[in-house]
Amino acid sequence: MKLSGNTILITGGSAGIGLAFAKKFLELDNEVIVTGRNQDKLDAVAKAHPKITTIRSDAADPKAIADLAHTIKAKFPKLNVLMNNAGVMTYRNLGVDDDLGPLTSEIDINLSGPIRLISSLIGQIRANKGTIINVSSGLAFVPLQAAPIYCATKAAMHSYTIALRQQLQDHEVEVIELMPPAVKTELAPIPSETNVKVITTDELVGSTIKALQKGTLEIRPGQANGLRFMSRWAPNFINGQLAKASKSLIPKPRQ
């Protein structure tokens, strides 16, 4: 992927990882559009970074995705990079009855949303010989006991991205997967008793940019690479370690 002269859409770009990448891509002389659900956060981004275009959109809503795609096609015909970054993580107790609606919210945002947006924009990205970057997680390789549905969405996104890359390889569309380790953001707290090394968004962006320069298609910074290795060579051990480390984060049953 070339690092300058692009028109880039980043979902979930009003904070955290998405905003860190938006600022870096802007610094590298790209046109950057970010989406988010919270208008106040988008307004703050627009005020702090006037050159970043902000659009309110909900990654879980098919109509909002269709409207976003319509806007992008009309106003940004040169769009050639889509970064699917929007995501949520919820700690869940699977051993209790739960409300059925919110139960699959992570699937709607983390998995269904990117799939729908890619399908909505694929013609434009293909015409512009562009790049798709799907943000999954090192937890695509091994699950965290306290976040079972989140981890399942990331494993599914990993599988989907491989198939997407294979299908688009003859259409000059580059498909990249970024699999972050634990990153210091508002997504979810990291248990203090673990040995997990938490990196900053700046560290993640820095290592990712280097990997993009090298043409790496599956980017696994820091401990994400270790999780992949351990999932292959010592799966029972690493699954047990993560299960113990996150057990305290499982919500207690409501009385």
Query: Where does the chain show beta strands of DSSP type E?
Result: 7-10, 31-36, 53-56, 81-84, 131-135, 174-178, 218-219
Tens of pLDDT, residues 4-18: 999 999 999 999 999
In whole angstroms, what is the distance from residue 61 CA to residue 231 CA? 34
Sheet holding 53-56, edge to edge: 53-56, 31-36, 7-10, 81-84, 131-135, 174-178, 218-219
Phi/psi of residue 81, each to 5°?
-135, 125
Is the pLDDT assigned to residue 242 strictly greater than 90?
no
Is the pLDDT assigned to residue 253 strictly greater than 90?
no
Question: How do the domains of the chain map onto residue ranges?
Answer: 7-249
- Give the pLDDT of residue 124: 98
Average pLDDT over residues 106-134: 98
31-36 vs 7-10, strand pairing mode: parallel
- Give the pLDDT of residue 188: 56
Q: Is residue 167 within 8 Å of residue 124, measured between CB atoms?
A: no
Q: What is the pTM of this model?
A: 0.93
* CA nearest neighbour of 31 among 3, 5, 57: 5
* CA nearest neighbour of 82 among 93, 94, 69, 95: 69
Percent of the chain with pLDDT over 70: 95
Instruction: Please give the single-letter amino acid code of residue 236.
Output: N
- Give the pLDDT of residue 187: 60
Is the pLDDT assigned to residue 233 strictly greater than 90?
yes
Is the pLDDT assigned to residue 33 strictly greater than 70?
yes
Q: Which positions ≥6 away from 236 have C-beta within 8 Å?
A: none
Is the pLDDT assigned to residue 26 strictly greater than 90?
yes
3-class secondary-structure state, position 246: helix
Tens of pLDDT, residues 34-85: 999 999 999 999 999 999 999 999 999 999 999 999 999 999 999 999 999 9
Phi/psi of residue 16, each to 5°?
55, -140
Q: Which residues are annotated as catalytic?
A: 150
In whole angstroms, what is the distance from residue 210 CA to residue 224 CA? 16
Tens of pLDDT, residues 92-103: 999 887 788 888
Is the pLDDT assigned to residue 158 strictly greater than 90?
yes
In CATH, the number for domain 7-249 is: 3.40.50.720
Q: Is residue 139 within 8 Å of residue 227, measured between CB atoms?
A: yes
- Give the pLDDT of residue 99: 81
End-to-end CA, the chain? 53
- Give the pLDDT of residue 255: 62
The mean of the pLDDT values for the chain is 93
